[in-house]
Amino acid sequence: MKDPGGAEHAFEDLRGEAMRFLQERATAYPELAHVIRALRAEIGRAVLPDPLPAPGRLPGIRHLGPALEMARAGPMTDLAAAFGRLEPYMRWIRTEHYRDRLGDDYMTNYCYTNLLGYDALVPHGRVVSSFLVIGPGRHYPRHHHEAEEIYFPFGGDALWAQGDEEPRERPAGEPIHNTPWLPHEMIARKTPLFSFCFWISPGPIQLPQLTG
């Protein structure tokens, strides 16, 4: 088992980087400041459980190395590096009910790990803060959910779409804000899709549902 003291140090490192990043984003995007600051407050008061949950690995994390390397070239490099140090202590998961619609290829080429939320390093019943990786050439089709959501892409050439708009690239560090029940989709192209993202739910967390 990995050293719990190492996990605590890595967690505090990531917490510090996330708090700085979110404060910068709240200042740069005042129209989203209330949502971003709500997440920042939850990260600020998070407490690591004792004992820590067991880490877990999935096939999709083979895309993490290239994703972290990609992030080094962008404005979120410090956050990505801090996540890379904590990641060995975290549990990677998938939304398993997607398998019937999306098949084994998709399920073995994507995964996410929750810093806060369900199956998370720090359990939370209403807020999710996670890191998502989708392998090149995969399409996360239209889906929606009750929770308000923001993605912050680390970089790459992925396409993002909301509502009826055409998919388009989004700059690294730019918030992609999905209001409750707004259909949205993502397409990973030549690079992995790698994003820091969060949900804030009005009640108990409900998993997303595919709509397209």
| pLDDT tens per residue, range 41-93 | 999 999 999 999 999 999 999 999 999 999 999 999 999 999 999 999 999 99
What is the residue whose two structure tokens read 């998709």? 106
Please tell me the distance from the alpha carbon of residue 142 to that of residue 130, in angstroms, as a whole number: 19
Closest CA to 67 of 197, 191, 175: 191
| pLDDT tens per residue, range 9-52 | 999 999 999 999 999 999 999 999 999 999 999 999 999 999 99
pTM recorded for the entire structure: 0.96
Contacts of 88 (CB under 8 A, 6+ apart): 2, 55
Question: What does the pLDDT read at residue 5?
Answer: 83
Could you tell me the fold of the domain covering 4-210?
Answer: Jelly Rolls (2.60.120)
* Other CB atoms within 10 A of residue 14 CB: 23
Question: What does the pLDDT read at residue 4?
Answer: 66
Question: What does the pLDDT read at residue 1?
Answer: 47
| pLDDT tens per residue, range 171-196 | 999 999 999 999 999 999 999 999 99
| pLDDT tens per residue, range 136-172 | 999 999 999 999 999 999 999 999 999 999 999 999 9
- Cβ contact 14:89 at 8 Å: no
Q: What is the DSSP letter of 170?
A: -
Question: What does the pLDDT read at residue 2?
Answer: 60
Write down the domain spans for the chain: 4-210
Question: What does the pLDDT read at residue 191?
Answer: 98
- H/E stretch holding 4 reads helix 4-28
